[in-house]
Structure 1
Amino acid sequence: MTNPDDKSGARLTKSKTCQERSIKVNQIHYMHKIKDDLCGAGRPVPWIQLKGYWLQQAGFEINTPVKVRVMDGCLVLTTE
């Protein structure tokens, strides 16, 4: 039987704090073309804007490529 307090076989990881931020999904309208005419304001498309110095502190420097993993109800952003 193993001792649950024994950490000798456990993988060591650095402890990092996780901070939550609240944002809202907004909408933006894409212009679309029917034949040669632009139509109205277009249809609404979901839009999320992220900005702030906290991105840099999290390792997202300016011009850094970002990978977006998409799951049902979840987006995961990682630097490449």
Structure 2
Amino acid sequence: MRERERARERESAREREREREREHERESVRERESARERARERESARESARQRVSARERERERESERERERKRERRRESERERM
């Protein structure tokens, strides 16, 4: 009788240990998934920043081109006035 009781207790202890190990593994999986999600968010933020910089650069280039065109137009106008 006592032997069966001790065997049940040992089995119960083994089951608790297995459950602790499973919970530890689940926690590890959650941590890895969380780390991957944070990495995706950081990459997304970097990409957004690159796109904003790129858009600003394109706008600066368009503005430079407009300024060059205005200068050409003023030069043409000056040449017409001289004639």
More helix by share: 2
Relative CO higher for 1 or 2, CA cutoff 8 Å, sep ≥ 6? 1
With the shorter chain as reference, the TM-score category is under 0.3
What's the TM-score, normalizing by structure 1?
0.15
